[in-house]
Chain A
Amino acid sequence: MTMNKLLQRQVERFFGSVDAIPKEQTPLFDAISDTYDGFDTDRRPIERSPGIHSEELTEINQRLREEVRERRQAQEKQDRLVRDLEKTTSRLEKVNQELNEFAYVVSHDLKAPLRGIRTLADWIATDYADRLGPEGQEQLHLLLQRADRMHALIDGILQYSKAGRGSEDRVPLDLQKLVPEVVDLLAPPSNIGITIRDPLPVVELERTRVLQVFQNLLSNAIKYIDKPEGHIVIGCRGDDAWWTFSITDNGPGIAEKNRERIFQLFQTLAPHKDAESTGIGLSLVKKIVELYGGEVWVESTLGAGSTFFFTLPKMPSEPPQEELQACTPCGRQT
């Protein structure tokens, strides 16, 4: 075997030549040479490694720099998109606001000439009653009815546009008190019983809006009862963040094909001669509930009745245990 170069130099220094090593010591020197070789083999990669690393590092660095650049670009793009989205949102909000204002102003301005028309027709009917004859009287009577209906429609648009207009005043509302007040106000006929099945919670929303939701759903339930005995049941269930209210009636029910349509503006299933059925009520309910991020839907069996459901957000500060207790049905009736 060839002796390690470094060891060979040492040997030559001490013995003059490699061959001068005493024969019995050869295995020892072989072993030493092996050790030297081993040391060299180990050392070589160690010496080389900084070189390799710096090459690789440069590459990694470059890759990282590239990635940082790409990420920054992506971030910039995202920022730009967010800005665009914000701009679009604020523009949409503005357009929405303008539409609301428009509906409000227009319906307001339409009322004045309509009042003029109605009043003049009324005066003609009064002042020239003898000259009109029964047919003319009847026609003027119809004209007055149409004016009343148009007035009801304009009022509905006013209400509808008002619901999404202006700043709102969120106050805690005890529905346990408020809902019976609404029922009193609606003064249901004696053959219709209204029951509050579950304890109702306190919500923190705008009073008028919440009133309008219950008022419209309850007055619809009352108005369309077609049985000799009417039963309307108000229920409430809660989950993590939402209350689900239900108003169940034993009215005529709503055909499947109409269950979407009834929530649209001016869509009513009542005959048109009924001046009070403007088709605003349910669309107003939908608008208000959706304004608070909630949902409204109906389940119905034709001939047996309907249940209108809607969700409203819980008060943010309410502790969860209290919520669980609050929605346990207790079967209390009013």
Chain B
Amino acid sequence: MNLSNETKNRFLDMGENNIALATKLFVDRESFPVTAGTADIVLPDYIVDIRRVTLLGKKMYPQGFRSYQENFYVGRGNGYPFNYIFNNVGVRTIKLYPTPEFSVPQVTNVWDADIATGFIIEYSRTPGMANYGTGNSWGSTLWGTSNSPNQQNFQLPEYYRRRLLKQFLAFKVATIEGNSQSSRMSEYFRQKWAASSTDFYNFINKLHNGSRKLVIKSPAGIRPMPGRPVLPVGKFGYSVDEGF
């Protein structure tokens, strides 16, 4: 089987990207400057999904583009932005609503000290795919580490990477034209890849997504249930609804 390292690395990139998109496990944060009077901010391409946005430490809430178009077609004034609209088709952008009437500088300590003073986006991102398809993929050796420290932070963990991506590599190698092609072997490893991926998703969900519930088993009971407003009787009188 004569397979170049370039091809192997391309398949490893591909497998890692599939896992990253399915689990959204590579999480990072960045701060972006906010300019008064400007609603749109261009984001890097490697952002797949937004998990949390905070402005001056307060959570902003996501809004669909259709909702934005239909409900807020008038009166798009400036103010304190409470909502954001994420456009992940083509060029990634985020639109703040209402348009901010003040500026916020970019900050650096996005995990601690500067949360209260910055505009911070926490997002899921792709792995180090910057060189994908250029013949210079980042996996410098078959099971080696990344060349770039930044990309190295966004690899599958060492304790899972080799044995998981090995299935994908074998599956893809058996599908390409040449001496290594074997449809039976390809099908065998495709099924093994599917089973291994499912194991990995379960592992991530169990350990890193859900709350543990070992010390307290019952749900927290914290739900967004706004109370019904109670109007003062002396001011508004009695209701004439059914029952009165």
Do A and B actually bind?
no
Interface residues of B (CB under 8 A from A): none
Interface residues of A (CB under 8 A from B): none
